[in-house]
Amino acid sequence: GDSVTQMEGPVTLSEEAFLTINCTYTATGYPSLFWYVQYPGEGLQLLLKATKADDKGSNKGFEATYRKETTSFHLEKGSVQVSDSAVYFCALGGATNKLIFGTGTLLAVQP
Amino acid sequence: GAVVSQHPSWVICKSGTSVKIECRSLDFQATTMFWYRQFPKQSLMLMATSNEGSKATYEQGVEKDKFLINHASLTLSTLTVTSAHPEDSSFYICSAKGEREEDTQYFGPGTRLTVL
């Protein structure tokens, strides 16, 4: 079945460092891909999405490109801030409307 | 973006009692709502999918009689945890989606349930 694999955390970075969180997927058909962020004690917020191959989703300095050839949707940011500290979830959405989530990656940014 | 609210944000109850959690889409009509459960430091586990006016579809392993879901209107779904026990303590999150295929799921802030 469909699945999402993302790098295990925690990822600890200094402020202004470059961030990459890897995400790969397995799916039949042509899923949409999402990154959600969860701040401590809160629910998930949609960070960005891409609905077809080669689409690039971007928001708040974060980017991810839908790569069909490598079945990947890696999250990147050029310069992280302390306020970016959160758990990041990669997710896949298929024809059934269900979202399949990765296990989440905790990002801790130190000043 | 679209806003989804949940109430209550946290609840503590005694073992054996029932707890109802509400999920509301505040500024759009949610034809489909989803209920998730999240354990500490783990990902979200989909419990059930509900469409307005019809019975919920439960994921494998989720007890229908224990987790009652009602989606009576296009802006409200409720999850009732019946005869709660300590092992039901968890973070429950709902999400809502509009009727178009490309509509994104928008998540509520979650409800922390603690069963004593």
B6-18 pLDDT, tens per residue? 999 999 999 999 9
CB-CB under 8 Å, A99 with B34: yes
B108 vs chain A: nearest CA distance in angstroms? 6
Query: By CA distance, what is B103's nearest residue in A?
Result: A97
Query: By CA distance, what is B47's nearest residue in A?
Result: A98
**Maximum pairwise Cα distance, chain B:** 41
Q: Is the pLDDT of residue A111 over 70?
A: yes
What is the arithmetic mean of pLDDT over B75-101?
91
The encoded tokens of residue A95 equal: 């024809």
Residue A66 C-beta-side C-alpha neighbours within 13 Å: 21
A 32-91 residues with CB < 8 A to B: 32, 34, 36, 42-46, 49, 51, 89
Q: Is the pLDDT of residue A12 over 90?
A: yes
- As a whole number of angstroms, the distance between CA B28 and CA B2 comes to 7
If pLDDT is split at 50, 70 and 90, which confidence band does A40 have?
Answer: confident
User: How confident is the model over B43-72, as pLDDT tens digits?
Assistant: 888 999 998 888 899 999 999 999 999 988
A102 vs chain B: nearest CA distance in angstroms? 7
What do you get for the CA distance between the two ends of chain A, in Å?
A: 41
Taking the CB of residue A98, how many other CB atoms lie within 10 A of it?
17
Q: Is the pLDDT of residue B83 over 90?
A: yes
DSSP letters of A13-47? EETT--EEE-EEEE-SS--EEEEEEE-TTS-EEEE
| pLDDT for res B84 | 96
Query: By CA distance, what is B37's nearest residue in A?
Result: A43
Chain B interface with A: residues with Cβ < 8 Å: 1, 6, 32, 34, 41-44, 46, 49, 93, 95, 97, 102, 104-110
Q: How many residues does chain B have?
A: 116
A1 touching B (Cβ < 8 Å): no
What is the arithmetic mean of pLDDT over A81-105?
89
Fill in the DSSP letter of residue A72: B
A42 CB neighbours in chain B (<8 A) are 109-110
Burial class (CB in 10 A: 0-12, 13-18, 19+), B100: exposed
- Which value, to the nearest 10 degrees, does the dihedral of the CA atoms of residues B65, B55, B42, A95 take? 150
| pLDDT for res A95 | 67
Taking the CB of residue B31, how many other CB atoms lie within 10 A of it?
19
| pLDDT for res B101 | 62
CB-CB under 8 Å, B107 with A43: yes
Q: Looking at the DSSP assignment, which residues form a beta bridge with residue B107?
A: B95
Q: Looking at the DSSP assignment, which residues form a beta bridge with residue B59?
A: none
B15 vs chain A: nearest CA distance in angstroms? 24
If pLDDT is split at 50, 70 and 90, which confidence band does B102 have?
Answer: low
B34 CB neighbours in chain A (<8 A) are 98-99
Q: Is the pLDDT of residue B27 over 70?
A: yes
- The per-residue pLDDT of chain B, averaged, comes to 91
